[in-house]
Amino acid sequence: MNATGKTHPASATQTIAALLAGMSLFLGLEWPPECQASAPPGILHHQGVIAVDGAAFTGIGAFKFALVDAAGTTTFWSNDGTSTTGDEPASAVSLVATHGRYSVALGDTSLEHMTSEIPASVFADQADVRLRVWLAADGMGSQLLSPDQRLGAVGYALSATTAASVPDGAIGNAQIAPGTLPSSRSIAGPFQSAEPNTSYVATSASRTTIVLGETTANVGDLVQITGAGAGGWIADHYQPDVWTARETSRSWRSVASSADGSRLVAAVYGGRIYTSSDSGVSWTAREGDRFWYSVATSADGAKLVAVVQNGRIYTSTDSGVSWTARESDRNWVAVASSTDGSRLVAAVYGGQIYTSTDSGVTWTGRKSNRQWFALASSA
């Protein structure tokens, strides 16, 4: 159900990884009787998962789509109709990805730069049709995601316009290859791990969660889910070992990371500041017990700043080994840092905003007293 593809990277340090087509579930696909004799709309629903530099991408991506042959040299359809030889379309479709997930109705002409539906002849005339995707996101130029993903049986439903003309009983076991239509499995419980090419019927009165596994699935595999119970169902993506518990239970209040994720700083409300130089595997206690409320770091993790509620601002220039108290006792609740750590901004709840241009050595009050609660800084 999920295939991992790689881009042709724009640089050695930044790549986009994509999980394509495998998240495309066409669940309980069935034409109403009154529609079976007419041509179905030329739309294919596609869902996918994308990650930028290994992290699930959230934001707006510029996607381009084309249906191509196995060799990738002939285009049968593209989102704006400009691709003919497997080349990149001229215009992109803007889609929102949330926690790495996006969806699109290929051929939906109500979308900008989606200029035509997918002709049924694409699947009627071709035995091997593949989806090719380009993506521009997170400041990178358009990248070709590879490999092209072969479309499974669902795409060929677009060419099945004569189903109503088949006499009742004309298709039996002799006309269907063994295993083509496996028996449905009934799900009565709250959880089910899905297997590829399997049909499930959710019968529970409460909602059933169906987890789509990755380890045994291949591109083109299908999972069919039918909701027969009052509780309905949801499909979730398999994400093994996403989090590993580190350190111990404390009243953690704030955390910040260097640009590469190797140097971390975390603050305990009523406790100490902790730093890590190995991406959180091990931690070292720093400074004393205080009501730490917010921390920030420079991109290299060397310059740190932390604020204490009803206390002072503290800065460090050696990745948290030593700290210097700055400014006065105030109800500090938020702090942010520029990339190089020279420009800082801190907020007082019920007071002013304060800025610094010398890595926190001196501070200037800004604006008027307000109930400031959060803030941010540009690079």
Cβ atoms of 133 and 65 within 8 Å: the answer is: yes
Give residue for tokens 């017990």.
289
Domain-wise residue ranges, the chain: 3-164, 181-237, 252-371
CA distance 79 to 289: 59
- CATH code of 252-371, in short, is 2.130.10.10
CA distance 91 to 110: 15
3-state secondary structure of 56: strand
CA distance 207 to 192: 11
CA separation (Å) from 231 to 61, 268, 277?
Answer: 34, 41, 47
Q: Out of 83-97, 100-114, 186-200, pick the least confident.
A: 186-200
What would the two tokens of residue 36 be?
A: 């079976």
Other CB atoms within 10 Å distance of the CB of residue 365: 14
pLDDT in tens, 288-335: 999 999 999 999 999 999 999 999 999 999 999 999 999 999 999 999
Instruction: Name the pairing type of β-strands 130-136 and 59-68.
Output: antiparallel
pLDDT band at 171 (very low <50, low <70, confident <90, very high): low
The reported pLDDT for the residue numbered 369 is 93
Assess whether the previous peptide bond of 147 is cis (omega < 30° from 0).
Answer: yes
Q: What is the mean pLDDT of the chain?
A: 79
Question: Does 257 or 155 have the greater pLDDT score?
Answer: 257
| DSSP string across 74-116 | -EEEETTS--SSSPPPSS-EEEEEBTTEEEEEET-TTSTT--S
Question: Is residue 155's pLDDT more than 80?
Answer: no
Question: Is residue 7's pLDDT more than 50?
Answer: no
User: Where is mean pLDDT largest: 1-10, 42-51, 369-378?
Assistant: 369-378
3-state secondary structure of 320: coil
Give residue for tokens 């998240």.
23
Question: Does 1 or 83 have the greater pLDDT score?
Answer: 83
Question: Is residue 179's pLDDT more than 60?
Answer: no
pLDDT in tens, 222-269: 777 777 777 777 777 655 554 678 888 888 999 999 988 899 999 999
Question: Does 155 or 92 have the greater pLDDT score?
Answer: 92
The reported pLDDT for the residue numbered 4 is 32
CA distance 105 to 42: 10
Give residue for tokens 């381009």.
64
Cβ atoms of 271 and 251 within 8 Å: the answer is: yes
Give residue for tokens 């791990």.
193
Q: Out of 76-90, 104-118, 200-214, 297-311, pick the least confident.
A: 200-214
